[in-house]
Amino acid sequence: MKDTRPPSSSPSEDPLDDAIREHYAHIPLSEPARQHIHGLLDGLAEADAPATSHPRFLSRRLPALAAVLFLCSLLLFSALELQSHQRGLRIAQTVATTHSRSESPEYPAADLVSLNAQMTALDFPLQPCDGICLTSNKLLGGRYCALEDKIAAQLKVQTCPESVCTLFAYRPSSSVVPFPSGKTFSLHGVNVHIWKEDQIGYALASMESVASRGPLSP
Amino acid sequence: MGISPEELDDLLLRGFRYAYSLCHDRPQAEDLLQDACLRLGKKDGPWKASYLYSTIRNRWIDLKRRDKIVQFESFESDSSEEGHAAYQDNANLISLPPPPSSELDLALQRLGDKERELLFLHLVEGYTTKELAEQFDRPRGTIMSTIHRAKGKVREHLRQLDPDSPMGKLPTKDQPTTNTSNPSSPS
């Protein structure tokens, strides 16, 4: 059936047609009935609207969504923390093994300036760091090594007459797994402390007996 | 709802008149319209005359079928004095539907549902006989003859109600001769 109202202005040939049109045109829908239907339809619209509206949908599921998000965040954080710990363990194993070899420095130097002048292959300058004081402790020299497939410098530092620590420095690659900064590992009698300063990763390896005496930094 | 209040009012009025053309009873037409609007409202439309008319018509058919299955006892069949008194009391308390306002209304009331519906759709809503034939799945000739007979019946009824009615004396070119002799049995 079509929806458009026909033109009713043109009179037809048969006056009965016009009379019937006129008759139906004067049959009104009563006001109470009209209002009742409007009320029913408004009620239907109000009943349906909250069920499909976005804010109500969200408000009902917000706690569940928040809980799921929190759980996902917790899982992600735990996974990253575990990966970071394993990354630190790998670095510590390399550092502890290298330190245990007690190799003599390739480039003897008493200060960082002369060492920087000799170890030109490094992609970063050697600088004083907070983890160990190179002025109060005696710098013996350095040599090249590799940490996490990146070129690294291992600096031999004499902290006391009978003990030599090894400081490793390298520029770690950016990774989703966070750098294990501030972590300390003990492997095969070697204490390894890892930290990061100015985008440079450091790992200080010392024998556990030396490490137990106290911090090497001033 | 996808329709403005003014458009809805217009649609309700058209739907009510269509429902009235089916049942020729104002309270029942209001009930039909209300039921149809509720059904459309639950489905969220579409708020178009065609859908509203179809829904009203389906509801009307349902009611007719139910009336055929369940025979209700009429108040007027109670011939006892007590029943008659109760009916009169009720009639005084309940606002009964107003009586037909015109002779034309009475004449239309005497038509069958289908005849009234076709007259309404053709004359008031402007459907062509071809459109009505497609809508009701009937030959166009059947639609045309039904409308023609219905108009003849209306004229005859008007003449019976008031021999001086100008409607009963309308041009006879549209008036079938068969209906004038026996209006209740169309040929």
3-state SS string over A16-48?
HHHHHHHHHHCCCCCHHHHHHHHHHHHHHHHHH
How does residue B102 score in pLDDT terms, banded at 50, 70 and 90?
confident
pLDDT value at B182 more than 90 = no
Residues B59 and B53: beta-carbon distance below 8 Å:
no
- Looking at the DSSP assignment, which residues form a beta bridge with residue A202? A169, A195
How does residue B160 score in pLDDT terms, banded at 50, 70 and 90?
confident
Nearest to B119 among A20, A36, A40 (CB): A20
The sign of the torsion formed by the CA atoms of B46, B52, B56, B62 equals: negative
Residues A201 and A163: beta-carbon distance below 8 Å:
no
Pick the range with the lowest mean pLDDT from A13-17, B2-6, B85-89, B126-130. B85-89
Residue written as tokens 């004081």?
A133
Q: Rounded CA gap, A168 and A202, in Å?
A: 5
Q: How does strand A200-207 pair with strand A150-160?
A: unpaired
Contacts of B42 in chain A (CB under 8 A): 44
CB contact under 8 A, B30 and A15: no
Q: Which helix (H) or strand (E) holds B93?
A: helix B81-93
- pLDDT value at position A91? 92
pLDDT value at B63 more than 50 = yes
How does residue B103 score in pLDDT terms, banded at 50, 70 and 90?
confident
Distances (CA, A) of A112 to A78, A132, B161: 39, 13, 125
Assign residue A63 a region (left: φ > 0; alpha: ψ between -120 and 50; beta: otherwise). alpha
Tell me the pTM.
0.48
Residue B169: CB atoms within 10 Å: 13
Q: Report mean pLDDT in 10-residue bins for chain A, 218 residues.
A: 54 77 87 86 71 61 90 94 92 90 88 90 88 79 91 89 88 87 89 90 83 50
Q: For B107-120, write each residue's pLDDT tens digit.
A: 888 888 889 999 99
Nearest CA in chain A to B53: A1
Contacts of A38 in chain B (CB under 8 A): 5, 8
Residue B163: CB atoms within 10 Å: 9
Residues A118 and A156: beta-carbon distance below 8 Å:
no
Q: Identity (one letter) of the amino acid at A51?
A: A
Q: How does strand A150-160 pair with strand A190-197?
A: unpaired
How does residue B178 score in pLDDT terms, banded at 50, 70 and 90?
very low
State whether ipTM is beyond 0.85: no
Nearest to A33 among B30, B131, B151 (CB): B30
> Which site among A8, A18, A31, A37 would you substitute to test the B interface, given the most B Cβ atoms closer than 10 Å to its Cβ?
A37
Residue written as tokens 């040939």?
A13
- pLDDT value at position B146? 92
